Amino acid sequence: MGVGIIGLGTYVPERIMKNSDFEKFLDTNDEWISKMTGIKERRFARDDETTSDLGVNAARKAIEDANLTIDDIDLIIVATSTSDQQFPSTANIIAHELGATSIPSLDQKAACTGFIYSVITAQMYVQSNMYDNVLVIGVDKLSKIADMTDRSTAVLFGDGAGAVVVSKVSEGKGIKSHKLGSDGSGADLLYEDLNTHYLKMNGREVFRFAVRMMPEISVEVMEQCNWQPEDISLLVPHQANIRIMEAARERMNLDVDKLSVTVDRYGNTSAASIPLSMDYERQNNKLNDGDNIILVGFGGGLTYGALGLTWGK
């Protein structure tokens, strides 16, 4: 038996924020944003819609997709950088809303790489036979920490949630390899300002890090899986910037149609971006049973991670 994903669910808020909407209060325009980032629009949650609200909606869909109930879940891991509050954890709040009253739950903070960190953490629990079904939720409400007077960051981020159930799967399916890492020397390149609580980023340096690291670890995981470019059906990168994503695809010698792109519709949703992309591709029949896929991300910390898996139960 392998360990993989048996259920997937996502949720995005109703409000669509287009690039042109920022022109009303920032010195920017749709052409520049689209060219530099690939983003056309993103979703913003209501003021009264919390991070945990987003996560609960995605979690319910993932559990249903796995043909399970909340009583079947043994552990909940929530990857987020925008907790409802310092404590209790967002995972505690989500567990309560889902009706789980006695299972462990915890938040995982690895910024935009949080989903990959959390899936690998879940894999270890299932692989050790400690738990059967682990619910992993990647969720962020970045609109609440985005400085809407800073044109260099305000246009980049959106809100959303994606959840998966990690469990044992049949032989030949599941996670085949992974690579996780971090470099704390870059902690001051992407962080939450303690005074304003707004997100701050050195865009130039983060871009340089990502354009080097994303292709590097993607290729490393591909080689660990003994996959050739023709063996890979889909590369699902963290949706931060189309130019970074294209750099990874080109380094892996993948055809253009093998790159998952949802940054145009959701922007950078941090820990939610990879599961949102997976669900989008599945809905469009580009993620199917037996497909080999690579998930890769980077984020504040600086953190980075990638994993290769064969899709299916």
State yes or no: is 268 an active-site residue: yes
State yes or no: is 178 an active-site residue: no
Nearest in space to 137 (alpha carbons), one of 115, 159, 109, 111: 115
- Active-site residue, selected from the candidate residues 19, 57, 241, 268: 268
Distance CA 59, CA 51 (A): 12
- Active-site residue, selected from the candidate residues 112, 178, 225, 241: 112
Nearest in space to 137 (alpha carbons), one of 177, 68, 78: 78
Distance CA 138, CA 122 (A): 13
What the block records as the tokens of 183 is 């470099």
Contacts for 78 with CB less than 8 Å, ≥ 6 apart:
55, 89, 90, 91, 94, 105, 106, 107, 108, 118, 136, 137, 139
State yes or no: is 112 an active-site residue: yes
Count of Cβ atoms closer than 10 Å to residue 191 Cβ: 16
- Active-site residue, selected from the candidate residues 92, 178, 238, 241: 238
Which residues are bridge partners to 162 per DSSP?
10, 138
- Residue where the block lists tokens 């567990």: 95
**What is the phi/psi pair of residue 100, to 5°?**
-95, 115
User: Do 117 and 80 touch, CB atoms closer than 8 A?
Assistant: no
Tally the C-alpha atoms within 13 A of residue 108's C-alpha that lie toward its C-beta. Answer: 27
Which active-site residues does the annotation give?
Answer: 112, 238, 268
